[in-house]
Amino acid sequence: MKKLTRRRLEESIALGFMYISLGLVTGALGWILLTLIIKGAPALTWSMVSQVPQGGFYLGKEGGILNAIIGSLYLALGGTMLALLFSLPISLGLNVYIHRKAKWALIVRSILDVLWGIPSIVYGAFGFTIMLALGMRASLLAGIITLALVELPIMIRSMDEVLRLMPRDIEHASYGLGATRIETAFRVILPQMLPGLVTAAMLAFGRGIGDAASVLFTAGYTDRIPTSLMDPTASLPLAVFFQLSMPYPEVQKRAYGAALILTIIVLLISILSRWIASRVSRYSVK
Amino acid sequence: MENHIQIRNLNVRIGNTQIIHDVSLDIPDGQVTAILGPSGCGKTTLLRSMNRFLELTEDSHITGEVLLDGKNIYDQDVDVTEIRRRIGLLAQRPFSLPMSIYENVAYGLRIHRVNNSRNLKPIIRHYMELAGLWDEVSKRLHEPATALSIGQQQRLCLARGLALEPEVILADEPTSALDPISAQHIEMKLQELKEKYTIVLVTHTLRQARRLADHVVFMYLGEVVEQGSAKEVFENPQMERTKAYLQGSIG
Amino acid sequence: MDLQATQPQPTDQRAAGKILASRQRTERRASVLFKGLTLFPILIFLVILVVLIARSLPILQQKSLTDLLFGQIWRPSEGVFGFLPFIAGSLWVTGIAILLAAPVSILCAIFLSEYAKPVVRTTIKPLIDILAAIPSVVYGLWGVLVIVPWVGDSFAPFVESTLGFLPFLQSKNPTGYSILSGAIVLAVMVTPFIIAISYEVMRTVPRGYHEASLAVGATRWQTVRYVIFPRVASGLAAGVVLGISRAFGETMAVLMVVGNNPNIPKSILDAAYPLPALIANNYGEMMSIPLYDAALLGSALLLLIIVLIFNVLATLVLRKVTGKGQE
What number of CA atoms fall less than 13 Å from residue C245's CA on the CB side?
26
Which residue on chain B is closest to A280 by alpha carbon?
Answer: B98
Claim to verify: residue C145 and residue C267 sit in the same structural domain: yes
Q: pTM to 2 decimals? A: 0.89
CA distance C24 to chain A (A): 8
Q: Which of A172, A188, A286 sits opposite B146 (nearest CB)?
A: A286
* The pLDDT value given to residue B183: 92
Amino acid at the residue B140: R
Claim to verify: residue C27 and residue C162 sit in the same structural domain: no
Q: What is the mean pLDDT of residues A149-177?
A: 94
Which residue on chain C is closest to A21 by alpha carbon?
Answer: C104
CATH fold, domain A49-283, is: MetI-like fold (1.10.3720)
Claim to verify: residue C15 and residue C161 sit in the same structural domain: no
Domain with residue C137: its CATH number is: 1.10.3720.10
Longest Cα–Cα distance of chain C, Å, equals 103
Q: Across the interface, do A25 and C195 touch by the CB < 8 Å criterion?
A: yes
Cα–Cα distance between C36 and C40 in angstroms, integer?
Answer: 8
Claim to verify: residue C18 and residue C90 sit in the same structural domain: no
Q: Is residue C99 one of the residues assigned to a domain? A: yes
Claim to verify: residue C249 and residue C141 sit in the same structural domain: yes
Taking an 8 Å Cβ-Cβ cutoff, which residues of chain B contact chain A?
A: 51, 53, 56, 58, 80-85, 88-89, 91, 93, 95-100, 107-108, 110-112, 144-146, 157, 160-161, 164
- The SS3 assignment for C126 reads helix
Phi, psi of C195 (to 5 degrees): -60, -45
> What pairing do the DSSP bridges indicate for beta strands C74-75 and C80-81?
antiparallel
CA A267 from centroid of its chain's CA atoms: 11
* The pLDDT value given to residue C164: 75
> What pairing do the DSSP bridges indicate for beta strands B168-172 and B3-14?
unpaired
Q: Is residue C255 one of the residues assigned to a domain? A: yes
Longest Cα–Cα distance of chain B, Å, equals 57
Q: Is residue C157 one of the residues assigned to a domain? A: yes
* The pLDDT value given to residue B117: 56
Q: Across the interface, do B53 and A175 touch by the CB < 8 Å criterion?
A: yes
Claim to verify: residue C26 and residue C105 sit in the same structural domain: no
A contact test, residue of B96, B97, B127, B140 with most A CBs within 10 A:
B97
Claim to verify: residue C23 and residue C127 sit in the same structural domain: no
Q: What pLDDT digit, counting tens, does each position of B131-157 carry?
A: 999 999 999 999 999 999 999 999 999
Q: Is residue C242 one of the residues assigned to a domain? A: yes
- Percentage of chain C modeled with pLDDT above 70: 94
Claim to verify: residue C101 and residue C34 sit in the same structural domain: no
Claim to verify: residue C161 and residue C251 sit in the same structural domain: yes
Q: Across the interface, do A188 and B81 touch by the CB < 8 Å criterion?
A: no
Which residue on chain B is closest to A184 by alpha carbon?
Answer: B111
Which residue on chain A is closest to B108 by alpha carbon?
Answer: A177
* The pLDDT value given to residue B125: 93
How many independent structural domains does chain C possess?
Answer: 2
Claim to verify: residue C140 and residue C199 sit in the same structural domain: yes
Which residue on chain A is closest to B148 by alpha carbon?
Answer: A285
Q: Across the interface, do A35 and C249 touch by the CB < 8 Å criterion?
A: no
Number of Cβ within a 10 Å radius of residue A126 = 25
Sheet holding B223-229, edge to edge: B87-90, B168-172, B198-202, B32-36, B215-220, B223-229
Cα–Cα distance between B153 and B141 in angstroms, integer?
Answer: 13
**What value does the mean pLDDT of chain B take?**
90
CA distance B103 to chain C (A): 16
pLDDT category of residue C1 using cuts at 50, 70 and 90: very low
Q: Which of C6, C19, C24 sits opposite B122 (nearest CB)?
A: C6
Cβ atoms of residues B217 and B204 within 8 Å: no
Residue B212 has pLDDT above 80, yes or no: yes
Claim to verify: residue C176 and residue C265 sit in the same structural domain: yes
Chain B residues with CB-CB distance to C19 below 8 A: 112-113, 116
B192 at interface of C, judged by CB pairs closer than 8 A: no
Q: What pLDDT digit, counting tens, does each position of A213-228 carry?
A: 999 989 988 888 999 9
Q: Which of C38, C44, C188 sits opposite A94 (nearest CB)?
A: C38
> What pairing do the DSSP bridges indicate for beta strands B198-202 and B32-36?
parallel
Q: What is the mean pLDDT of residues C264-290?
A: 85
Residue B247 has pLDDT above 90, yes or no: no
Cα–Cα distance between C325 and C318 in angstroms, integer?
Answer: 10
- Residue C175 sits in which domain range? 86-322
B167 at interface of C, judged by CB pairs closer than 8 A: no
B146 at interface of C, judged by CB pairs closer than 8 A: no
* The pLDDT value given to residue A52: 85
Q: Across the interface, do B100 and A188 touch by the CB < 8 Å criterion?
A: no
Q: Which of B111, B123, B125 sits opposite C8 (nearest CB)?
A: B123
Q: Across the interface, do A173 and B51 touch by the CB < 8 Å criterion?
A: no
What are the sequence ranges of the domains in chain A? 2-43, 49-283
Claim to verify: residue C108 and residue C243 sit in the same structural domain: yes
pLDDT category of residue C327 using cuts at 50, 70 and 90: very low
